[in-house]
Amino acid sequence: MPELTDEFGRRMPFSLEAEQSVLGSILIDPEAFTTLPQVISSSDFYLEEHQNIYAAMQSLFLANDTIDPVTLIDSLVKQGVYDVEKSNQYVRLLAEIVPNAANVREYAKIVRDKSKLRQLIEQCKEITDNAFSAQDDASMIIGDAEQRIFSLAQDNTQRSFAHIKDILVNTWNSIKLVSTEGVGATTVPTGFSGVDRLLVGMGKSDMVLIGARPGMGKTSFALNIATKAAQRFRKEGSDKCVCIFSLEMSNEQLVQRVISSEAMIDSTNLRSGSLSKEEWAKLADTSSILSDLNILVDDTTGMTITGMKAKLRREKNVGMVIIDYLQLMQSDRKIDNRVNEIGDISRNLKIMAKEFNVPVICCAQLSRGPEGRTDKKPMLSDLRDSGAIEQDADIVMFLYREEYYDKEKNQNTAKVIIAKNRHGGTGDVDVGWLGKFTKFSDLTDMEAPPF
């Protein structure tokens, strides 16, 4: 049995009544169990016997067996957790504690809250120990403390392990959700149908790399994805935001790109201010539509991962992060070798994607490798400065336009080359490209540019 008090004699946070009520509710109504995996796991219960009972319920659920006092007692006895007499008495007591299962989620939230408070106590102990040891710089210790507290605040607790029973129940529910609501229920689409068919969407903790030579359109492609995502969030009634870190362009230059793409106004006309009456009307309409989208832009130069995390933590419901571009970022640590520095940044971008549980889409410049080949399509070996980028990224997409190298070629098409896809297949996808509007599109949706 765990200690009920800490070393100072203070009672550890837990609610016996709430823990018993959760278990009793499941015994009364086994269907209540299906609503709980996203709220609690067995490790959230403080008393060991309650952890064992909940774990046994999980086993019965995964085996598609009935959850009732008889099957539960049999399971506990077979596992050697309780003897028959003790199991009989306590399990039947649990079944009589609550009159119905209507409030099971509320009971579970109490159990979860108490668990988080205990985790907070443990994290604060470790933070205090780190501060007293002073083995790292103060900024590193503070950054570690911030991340620990943020993880708890985001309900991303630092458990040592998750039991496979907990994971299986969540996986079961995810598969069921996809089967009924489609792939978009568990992934974030790019908005380009051909790309999404191959990727099956972007995972919510994926690091996605968009690589291209300068002027190929990587910023435009990333902004097209960002805008489509923000439109989708709004259509779904979600308050999720798309956060864009623009390390190369000012926020006004970046928004001009978005306006050009969405309003189909020649980007040269926007820069010069030489707009026709029709274009002024398009500008007004598009500005009104874009202002309703939850897109946030930060154009601070030389950003570090720590700086990005600090800004993202201030925002609620981040749904996607765009970074333009990788080679303009700086490491939090002083690293003499640029290759190692980019590798450090790349690894931390993947960690950031997992921490915030959102796709982190990062643009990257490629080396001059394609220029020296007959076939100028980019390859993974063209990733500039570090091979670690290829290793860390879940998805690597390259942009390629033939007319970039040969002006006689079709100027209205491009290829999205999916060179790496940790979750599925690779291949090329043809898309439309309207250079005057800095816009990529599905070929089927492509409109002829105005003359």
For 422, other C-beta atoms within 10 Å of its C-beta total 11
Residue 354, classed as helix, strand or coil, is: helix
Cβ 89 vs Cβ 73: under 8 Å: no
- Give the C-alpha separation, 213 to 349, whole Å: 21
pTM here is: 0.64
User: Exposed, middle or buried: residue 33 (CB in 10 Å: 0-12, 13-18, 19+)?
Assistant: buried
**Residues in the chain, pLDDT under 70:** 1-9, 37-38, 83-84, 136, 153-162, 177-179, 181-186, 332-333, 384-387, 410, 445-451
Which fold, 184-445? Rossmann fold (3.40.50)
Beta bridge partners of 241: 318
Residue 265 CB partners (closer than 8 Å, separation 6+) = 259, 275, 279, 282, 283, 437
Segments making up each domain of the chain, as ranges? 16-168, 184-445
For the four alpha carbons of 199, 203, 207 and 210, in that order, the dihedral sign comes to positive
Eight-class DSSP state of 254: H
Q: Which pLDDT score, from 0 to 100, does residue 226 have?
A: 93
* Angle formed at CA 9 by CA 8 and CA 13, multiple of 5 degrees: 105
Secondary structure element (H or E) that encloses residue 255, with its range: helix 251-263
Q: Measure the CA–CA gap between 335 and 344, rounded to whole angstroms.
A: 9
**Spelled out in words, what is the top-level CATH class assigned to the domain 16-168?**
mainly alpha
3-state SS, residue 295? strand
- Do 191 and 157 meet the contact criterion of CB atoms below 8 Å apart? no
* Separation of alpha carbons 241 and 415, rounded Å: 28
State the Cα–Cα distance between residues 416 and 398, nearest whole angstrom: 6
**Interior CA angle at 252 toward 246 and 254, to 5°?**
45
- 53-77: pLDDT as tens digits: 998 888 888 777 888 888 888 888 8
pLDDT score of 222: 93
Pairing outcome for strands 360-365 and 207-212: parallel
